[in-house]
Structure 1
Amino acid sequence: MPELLARTSSAELTEWMAYERVTGPLGPERMDALFATLAATVANTARAKGRKAEPKDFMPKWDQGDKGLTDWQQMLDAVKSYNRQIGGTDSTTKGGAAGGDA
């Protein structure tokens, strides 16, 4: 992690976190899809007669649209929150305080 933080700005990391929240996990290995398939398999071994479980039944819903983020101020607050979580600085405030005033 220190190497990543040395090579990447907190602003860029925040952008990637926001992107991943909408699209789902990044990278070649989609663990969410793997575990959804595994969960469906396990559920089907123990199911009674009826509807068969499918991986989509266990997949997280990544893009929730604008739920909870209805205006620009809420979106900015969400980005500042991500920035605080990763220890970034807020260049929109005097002195660049971590996370700003949000």
Structure 2
Amino acid sequence: MLADIDSAELTEWMAYEQISGPLGPERVDVLSSIVAATVANTARGKGQRAKEPADFLPKWDQGATAGAGDWEQMLTTVKSLNRRLRGNDLTEGGGHDA
């Protein structure tokens, strides 16, 4: 997959996933949280509160209330991931962190 898309498209998909939840079958995250709660509840001790599936469900779109300047940290992170994956930096000044 990484050979077929550039870093800009990958970044867009990463941002989309952060807002809308994981890519793939619809709401598989909810199904996974139900399984995780079931497993956790079978191992809980007597008198301990039962876990709810919501306790295991990721909180999507946490970045919606992010303050100004967060884009710079995101850019630094994306550039770092791009270097680790041996991607090409096609931004102006390519390869230099902001």
Q: TM-score, normalised by structure 1?
A: 0.67
Asked whether the 8 Å contact 2:33–2:57 carries over to 1, the reply is yes
Note if 1:6 corresponds to 2:22. no
Counterpart of 2:56 (choices 55, 58, 62) is 58
Q: CA RMSD in A?
A: 2.6
Residue 91 of structure 1: aligned partner: 91
Q: TM-score, normalised by structure 2?
A: 0.69
Query: For residue 59 of structure 2, what is the amino acid of its counterpart?
Result: K
Which sections of structure 1, spanning at least 5 residues, go unmatched?
Answer: none
Q: Tell me the percent identity.
A: 49
Distance 2:54 2:70 in 1: 30
Note if 1:70 corresponds to 2:63. no
1:12-68 CA-to-partner distances (Å, cap 9, x unmatched) read 10111121122221111655333311121123334445754321111111221345x
Counterpart of 1:42 (choices 24, 34, 39) is 39
Which sections of structure 2, spanning at least 5 residues, go unmatched?
Answer: none
Distance 1:79 1:16 in 2: 14
Query: For residue 18 of structure 2, what is the amino acid of its counterpart?
Result: R
Distance 1:46 1:80 in 2: 41
Residue 101 of structure 1: aligned partner: 97
